[in-house]
Copies of this chain bind each other. A is one copy, B any other.
Amino acid sequence: MGVNLKPLGSRVVVEPIEEEEVTAGGIVLPETAKEKPQKGKVLSVGPGDRDESGKRIPLDVSVGDTVLFAKYAGTEVKVEGKKLLILRESDILAIIESK
């Protein structure tokens, strides 16, 4: 029997995708003070926050989406050995699609 995380409100559970920070040719140094985002896969999504009249606002990301999010956003949680992140949808910058 496994465990399932049901995020509340506009939160999503994301499994981070670690990427090589060192390129073939050597070390990559950050060029600017700008925050670097991180990639991840959406594992589950909350029901959405409620609007003023009490109706849910559905999320724009879906289970299975690959997303970019701010690197230090959210809360880290270990579920069955996997390191997951619980983020608010507002911490997600973009969905990465193949074209």
Give A residues with C-beta under 8 Å from B.
1-9, 11, 13, 31-37, 47, 50-55, 57, 60-61, 68, 70, 72, 74-77, 83, 85-86, 89-90, 92-99
Contact = CB atoms under 8 A, between A and B. Distances in A.
A58 to B, nearest CB: 9
14 contacts: A2-B99, A3-B97, A4-B96, A4-B98, A5-B95, A6-B95, A6-B96, A8-B60, A8-B95, A31-B83, A36-B76, A54-B57, A70-B75, A75-B93
A68 B89 contact: no
A11 B75 contact: no
A94 B60 contact: no
Copies of this chain assembled into the complex: 7
A48 B83 CA distance: 32
Contacts of A35: 75-76
A97 B53 CA distance: 29
